[in-house]
Structure 1
Amino acid sequence: MPRHPLLGRHSDLRLLRVAYRRQRRVATLTALGYFTLFLLLSAFAPSLMTGTLPGGLSTGLLLGLCQLPVTGLALCLYECTARRRVDPLAHRLRRQAELDHRPTPGTAGGVLR
């Protein structure tokens, strides 16, 4: 009998799901939040969006061009949170699953005879 609960009921599995869900939400809300802000400004503040900046560039065009770096930021956030929170939990669970399914000495395929 293993000293820790079986993998399906393990609290680390729940922590992994929570960390992965949080990771997806942060990255998605970063990209979609900016895009939604851009759309709202386009719809409700047209005078702001058509204003010109030094160099002849309109505010709307500049904010539209900023969508690409914001999407890159969302990808970086996704990667950083994966490395910091999700990947260590996944590696620990993978190691534990390998240990749980490793046959013990004196057994054939992990089943006592």
Structure 2
Amino acid sequence: MQRRAISGNPEFQTLKRAQHRSGVAMAAIAVGGFLLYVLLSSFTPGLMNSSLSGHLTLGLALGLGQFVLMAVIARRYVVHMRTRVDPVARGFRTQLHRPTAEGPGRTAQHPSVPRPRTEEYRTW
């Protein structure tokens, strides 16, 4: 199957939209969390300086929480790609590299003959 045929395939378009939508949603959550932290630090310093335990303040806990948020988002993105996007992308890659007849009088290259390396669709 040719690359143009795959890129015009409705299932491929759905795959690309799902990949884009999940990336945008997770980026929005990350930016939103950081923006919330900055706004709270700017406009509610008394709240952010309130002590939770010993020298641990709410601001420090929320700042450290940014690392946790990024780790959760990154993990969720990897799981999403592995479970929903990669299997479909592998199917398209298989279709793309499946040997086919090149036209009248031509046959596909024998499987034991190495094919030249071409650009692949990558999900990551």
| Same-fold status (TM-score > 0.5) | yes
Q: TM-score, normalised by structure 1?
A: 0.80
- Residue 98 of structure 1 aligns with an amino acid whose one-letter code is H
Tell me if 1:112 matches 2:84. no
Deviation string for 1:5-54 (max 9, x for gaps)? 93232112201211210221232123212111101111121111111112
Residue in 1 aligned with 2:113? none
Inter-partner Cα distance in structure 1 for 2:91 and 2:100:
19
Deviation string for 1:47-93 (max 9, x for gaps)? 11111112221111111111111110010111011012111121111
Equivalent position SS for 1:112:
coil
Tell me if 1:89 matches 2:81. no
Q: Map residues 1-113 of structure 1 onto 2, 5 A cutoff.
A: 6-99=5-98, 102-104=99-101, 110-113=102-105
- Residue 86 of structure 1 aligns with an amino acid whose one-letter code is V
Q: TM-score, normalised by structure 2?
A: 0.74
Structure 1 outlier segments of 4+, above 6 Å: none
Q: Is the 8 A contact 1:49 1:58 kept in 2?
A: yes
Inter-partner Cα distance in structure 2 for 1:10 and 1:76:
29
Inter-partner Cα distance in structure 2 for 1:23 and 1:74:
11
- Structure 2, unmatched stretches of 5+, are 106-124
More strand by share: 2
RMSD across aligned positions (CA) = 1.8
The alpha carbon displacement at 1:103 in A equals 2.8
Q: Is the 8 A contact 1:23 1:82 kept in 2?
A: no
- Structure 1, unmatched stretches of 5+, are 105-109
Higher relative contact order (CA 8 A, sep 6+): 1
Equivalent position SS for 1:6:
helix
